[in-house]
Amino acid sequence: MRIVIPDDYQDAVKTLDCYQKLAGHEVTIYHDTVKDPAELQCYFLV
């Protein structure tokens, strides 16, 4: 499964205990904040 985590600007997701549940999946984390919906959509279509 492909999982996209947008807007993790504090780089905190990997420190959460629940992040381990994503092992074995393709996880992409974006650290920038995107306000344009069209640009944000591109994150999910790649």
Q: Give 2-33 pLDDT, tens digit per residue.
A: 999 999 999 999 999 999 999 999 999 999 98
Q: What is the reported pTM? A: 0.77
pLDDT band at 44 (very low <50, low <70, confident <90, very high): confident
**3-class secondary structure per residue, 7-23:** CCCCCCHHHCHHHHHHC
Domain ranges for the chain, please list them. Answer: 2-45
pLDDT band at 42 (very low <50, low <70, confident <90, very high): confident
- Picking from 4, 22, 19, the residue whose alpha carbon sits closest to that of residue 32 is 4
**Side-chain half-sphere exposure of 8, counting CA atoms within 13 A:** 14
- Picking from 13, 12, 10, 7, the residue whose alpha carbon sits closest to that of residue 35 is 7
pLDDT band at 45 (very low <50, low <70, confident <90, very high): confident
